[in-house]
């Protein structure tokens, strides 16, 4: 019996320490959630800040085969490292759709350091009346922030300091597409078909 009492005291101490740790952890999680909800509520009454990422059309160039390419620059004006993907979209039948030709690295997690820019060359789409470049970026997290962000996701909340940034570049006219689908060309094709039919009859 005498040997059991010290063991019971030891187990009680361990149990009390474990309960205290759980309580402290629960309190910390509650504070994080309350802080996130408060931050989100305050943002509802604040004017949205301009996106730290921009898409600029710099000009045109030609590749080795003579194909015309558009030079596009992505800039990061923030103080954080961003991970991003991008895509070329075309306007067809009144809605923006993914272009048939995309760069091989478009869907990869490209990195854009703070205060930097990246210049790329893109082929001009051959379909659609208009086209544009879209970009989706997120701030690269590390250490404790990664764990906190995962905690927010478990309760279906977005970590307020790593929100998804979506931007679209300027809308560009697709002159080649308009030229190929112009009414004059359509009329010329009909006249050509009618002429060839008439010569066959003769």
pLDDT of amino acid 26: 77
Whether residues 19 and 64 share a domain: the answer is no
Say how far apart CA 81 and CA 139 lie, in whole Å: 6
Whether residues 43 and 59 share a domain: the answer is no
pLDDT of amino acid 123: 87
Whether residues 22 and 62 share a domain: the answer is no
Could you tell me the two tokens for 3? 């040997």
pLDDT of amino acid 15: 65
Flag whether 37 is in a domain: yes
More confident residue, 189 or 19: 19
Percentage of the chain lying above the pLDDT 70 cut:
71
Whether residues 151 and 166 share a domain: the answer is yes
Do 99 and 70 meet the contact criterion of CB atoms below 8 Å apart?
no
Flag whether 194 is in a domain: no
Whether residues 15 and 65 share a domain: the answer is no
pTM metric for this prediction? 0.61
List the beta bridge partners of residue 70.
Answer: 60, 122
Overall domain count for the chain: 2
pLDDT of amino acid 117: 94
Whether residues 90 and 69 share a domain: the answer is yes
Flag whether 95 is in a domain: yes
Q: State yes or no: pLDDT of 191 exceeds 50.
A: no
Could you tell me the two tokens for 199? 């010569």
Q: State yes or no: pLDDT of 177 exceeds 60.
A: no
Whether residues 59 and 94 share a domain: the answer is yes
Flag whether 187 is in a domain: no
**Residue range of the domain that includes 117:** 53-180
Flag whether 104 is in a domain: yes
pLDDT grade for 51, boundaries at 50, 70 and 90? confident
Do 53 and 107 meet the contact criterion of CB atoms below 8 Å apart?
no
- Phi and psi based region of residue 143 (left: phi greater than 0; alpha: psi -120 to 50; beta: remaining): left
Whether residues 1 and 62 share a domain: the answer is no
CB burial readout 177-194, b (16+ within 10 A) else e: beeeeeeeeeeeeeeeee
Arithmetic mean of pLDDT, 107-128: 89
Q: What CATH number did the domain enclosing 142 receive?
A: 2.60.40
Say how far apart CA 201 and CA 42 lie, in whole Å: 78
Arithmetic mean of pLDDT, 63-87: 91
Whether residues 70 and 2 share a domain: the answer is no
Whether residues 35 and 69 share a domain: the answer is no
């Amino acid at each position: 019996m005498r040997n059991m009492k010290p063991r019971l005291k030891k187990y009680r101490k361990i149990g009390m320490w474990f309960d205290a740790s759980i309580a402290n952890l629960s309190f910390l999680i509650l504070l994080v959630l309350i802080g996130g909800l408060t931050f989100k509520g305050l943002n509802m009454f604040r004017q949205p800040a301009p996106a730290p990422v921009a898409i600029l059309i710099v000009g045109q160039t030609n590749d080795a085969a003579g194909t015309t390419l558009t030079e596009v620059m992505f800039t990061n004006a923030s103080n954080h490292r961003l991970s991003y993907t991008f895509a070329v979209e075309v306007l067809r039948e009144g809605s923006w759709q993914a272009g048939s030709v995309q760069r091989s690295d478009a869907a990869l997690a490209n990195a854009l350091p703070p205060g930097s820019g990246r210049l790329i060359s893109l082929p001009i789409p051959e379909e659609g009346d208009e086209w544009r470049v879209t970009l989706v970026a997120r701030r690269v997290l590390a250490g404790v922030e990664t764990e906190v962000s995962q905690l927010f996701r478990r309760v279906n909340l977005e970590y307020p300091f790593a929100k998804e940034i979506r931007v679209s570049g300027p809308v560009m006219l697709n002159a080649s597409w308009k030229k190929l689908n112009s009414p004059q060309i359509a009329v010329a094709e009909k006249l050509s078909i009618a002429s060839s039919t008439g010569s066959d009859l003769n």
